[in-house]
Chains A and B, each alone.
Chain A
Amino acid sequence: MITAIVIMAAIGLVLGIVLGWAEVHFRVAEDPLVDKIDKILPQTQCGQCGFPGCRPYAEAIAKHEADINLCPPGGEHGIRQLADLLGVEFKPLGAGKEPKPKAVAVIDENTCIGCTLCIQACPVDAIIGASKQMHVIVADACTGCELCLAPCPVDCIEMQVISENVNSWKWRYPVFPIHHEVARAA
């Protein structure tokens, strides 16, 4: 009896030491929470969440200073992912926040006076131009944040919704009546 207890205690002690050692030596360098949250956010950098960019919002979420449903470009999918990550309940997008269709900014080349104000506003340096020169927007880099619209003194920047093309087209959700659903509806 005594031997059994001693053996069990010894085994427990050895395993405990091994586990403790492993905990210290095999620790996986975890992504800090902020990085994980930032990875989920869409990086539009639009500020609609009330923070000056996605990372500040991620930091605020990590510090429990902001709710998870403030980012319209991330949409429901984004909120769901955040809820999963943080182990909280999903909630619909905050009041007054509507996801918009994806768009890119386009400069009207004839009106642009080359004041460079939009360049300073663009969070991803997607606008190319120099003082007193016509400016253009690199459509591939533009996130559609709309931050360049307001600074333009001649209102020559416009958002163009990206229409579906053969490349971005998605198969539709199949709508086939399922027998029992039809019966239930009837």
Chain B
Amino acid sequence: MNQPLFSFPGGLHPAEHKAESNAAAIVTVPLSGRYVVPLRQHAGNSAKPVVHVGDRVLRGQTLAIPDGRISAAVHAPTSGRVVAIEPHPVAHPSGLADGCVVIEADGLDEPVAMTPTTWRDLTPEALRERLAGMGLVGLGGAVFPSHVKLQPGQTRIETLILNGAECEPWITCDDRLMRERAAEVLRGAEIMRHLLGARELLVGIEDNKPEAAAAMRAAAGPDIKVVVVPTRYPSGGAKQLIQLLTGLEVPAGKISTDIGIQVFNVATAYALQRAVELGEPLISRIVTITGQVARPGNYEVRLGTPIEEVIQRAGGELPGASGHLVGGPLMGFDLDSPRAPVAKGVNCIIVTSPELFPPHPTAMPCTRCGLCAQACPVRLQPYEMYLYAKAKNLDKAKAYNLTDCIECGCCSYVCPSHIPLVDYYRFAKSELAARDRDQQAAELARERHEFHLLRLEREKQEKAARLGRKASERLESGSVAPDDPEAARKKALLEAAIERARQAKEAAAPANIDNLTPTQQAEVDAIEARRKQAEQKETTP
């Protein structure tokens, strides 16, 4: 049943801290009174709201629709009334507020009509169409819209990999999900295979989750291979898991589908199964609450529930709690405000304390020991990238393949000088991304400006053509009725206007009468005087 195993370079084995939260069964969090549903819970554009303040909404009703291709819908987690659509703190490393739909729950939890499907009867196209508005995104943390990933691309997808590695310390939500709902997860994976037309279906699980692996094996049909991989961070990185299971390496700058492989998280497969077989859009997820809390464990939470409330459900914070980490300690970020809601990408909340997470030791200069390069699963040269990122030399950092860095944090973890390497990479990567955005904006502006100039030129020509036509028409009509008094008067007026314009122009641009000698000046004066006389004669006939 086991695949031959391959390996990936680098990696590490930090303290797992899984036992704290993986013993108890998943607890469903009771309904809350108020939900804050962010419009951006996915990679790509914010969703566009389609409800208004004051509307009554039902559980599963669409609150906002995708805006563009890379975007996803969001749905009401319960029934109630929309009380606001406004910026609200969200779980984001910036700590900035983002647009959210605030719903006051009515406690009835009344659902919209949901239509279950027997997916085997539907063509992949029809099924995809149904899924597009379900708000499905990758629940492993990358939150990339799933309907985009389920679209077959240029290369045929041969292999579908289900990612149950869950390599990051502290997090156990996928572990519990696989233990308790293996059949549903695998049915979701079957649907994915149907959609992608993949031949092979592999499930990768780290060997520190024997119960999950056993449950998945028991539920798996003969054509699904459940593979147990050694516990080594970051085996759950998509490219690392591909390497472990197939021995294939995704080339730098490419994505897995270029070599015919697609990877989904187990929780995404579970959500997809619910969306298809129950017709329920993505409105809840399982979150690990752990660290300095009374009852660490896994909680099934409706999206939009404030994080502080979920922590309360987990027995509340214990004395000594000092902050919150969203995601794991290696790839996660500090949460600014626990008022932020649980969103699709929030897989774990760790209540921190100085004992669990001692403050970062002071960094020392890089000694070029090379340990970071040995630990890097992407075989980068972290110390070089660090040097250039630190000097803000973005081009050089990019030349060392900074954009291939998966921000796994292995390098920072092993660095004996305690340099927060990943912080520098995140900084440099977001600068590079901003620069790309600027470049695109400039490209657009250049095009629009060129079009603008073209338009002005065309309008000028059209105007000239129009005037020319008019002038010739006038000439013709003038020959037909030469002594029409009205036409003659108009002609005189026009000529006078043109003459005035000509004089004004001359007066404005006397380019060649600067710096004249006295004799020249006298000549010019004489000419001017004669011209004046002539003009007087003309205007007073």
Which positions in A face B, CB cutoff 8 Å? 38, 41-45, 53-54, 77, 122-126, 140-141, 143, 164-174, 176-180, 182
Contact = CB atoms under 8 A, between A and B. Distances in A.
Interface in B399-430: 419-420, 423-424, 426-427, 429-430
B96 A43 contact: no
B357 interface: no
Contacts of A164: 94, 96
A179 B445 contact: no
A15 to B, nearest CB: 33
The 5 closest A-B CB pairs, nearest first, are A43-B445, A124-B448, A174-B423, A169-B94, A171-B426
B446 interface: yes
B434 interface: yes
Q: Which of B93, B94, B96, B445 has the most CB of A within 10 A?
A: B445
Interface in B330-370: 360, 362-365
A38 B427 contact: no
Given A170-B430, A170-B434, A179 B363 contact: yes
B456 to A, nearest CB: 9
B420 A174 contact: yes
A174 B452 CA distance: 43
A123 B420 contact: no
A41 B449 CA distance: 13
B98 A171 contact: no
Contacts of B363: 176-179
Given A168-B434, A170-B433, A178-B365, 4 more contacts: A43-B445, A171-B427, A174-B420, A179-B365
B442 interface: yes
Contacts of B255: none
A164 B433 CA distance: 14
Contacts of B455: 125
A165 B429 CA distance: 17
A9 to B, nearest CB: 42
Nearest to B46: A167
B451 to A, nearest CB: 7
A123 B449 CA distance: 6
Count class of interface residues, chain B:
35 or more
A54 B96 contact: no
A90 to B, nearest CB: 13
B375 interface: no
Given A42-B438, A125-B455, A166-B92, A177 B448 contact: no
17 contacts: A41-B442, A42-B442, A43-B443, A43-B449, A45-B449, A53-B449, A54-B449, A77-B435, A140-B444, A141-B445, A170-B434, A171-B429, A172-B427, A173-B392, A173-B427, A176-B362, A179-B365
Contacts of B150: none
A117 to B, nearest CB: 15
A123 B94 CA distance: 34
Contacts of A179: 362-365
A169 B360 CA distance: 24
A123 B427 contact: no
A4 B97 CA distance: 80
A169 B423 contact: no
A173 B389 CA distance: 9
Contact of B96 (A44, A126, A143, A166): A166
B75 interface: no
B94 A166 contact: yes
B387 to A, nearest CB: 12
B448 A125 contact: yes
Nearest to B38: A166
Q: Which of A141, A173, A182 has the most CB of B within 10 A?
A: A173
Given A124-B452, A166-B96, A172-B427, A178 B360 contact: no
Nearest to A44: B445
B431 interface: yes
A173 B428 CA distance: 8
Contacts of B40: 166-167
Contacts of B431: 170
B90 interface: yes
Nearest to A122: B452
B140 to A, nearest CB: 20
Contacts of B427: 170-174
A173 B426 CA distance: 9
Nearest to A126: B448
Nearest to A163: B96
A123 B98 contact: no
A146 to B, nearest CB: 14
B215 to A, nearest CB: 37
A102 B429 CA distance: 21
Contacts of A165: 96, 98
B163 to A, nearest CB: 26
Given A42-B442, A178-B364, A124 B449 contact: yes
Interface string B439-465: 001111110110110010000000000
A168 B434 CA distance: 7
A43 B93 CA distance: 31
Contact of B452 (A41, A125, A173, A177): A125
A125 B451 CA distance: 8
Contacts of A45: 445, 449
A54 B453 CA distance: 13
B431 to A, nearest CB: 6
Contacts of A176: 360, 362-363, 419-420, 423
B422 to A, nearest CB: 9
Contacts of B445: 42-45, 124, 141, 143
Contacts of B365: 178-180
A122 B98 CA distance: 31
Contacts of B435: 77
A80 B146 CA distance: 41
Contacts of A167: 40, 46
A145 B352 CA distance: 47
A34 B436 CA distance: 21
A42 B442 CA distance: 5
A43 B442 contact: yes
B444 A169 contact: no
Nearest to B435: A77
Nearest to B444: A141
Contacts of B424: 174
B448 to A, nearest CB: 4
Contacts of A44: 445
A45 B451 CA distance: 13
A84 to B, nearest CB: 9
Nearest to B333: A171
Contacts of B437: 168
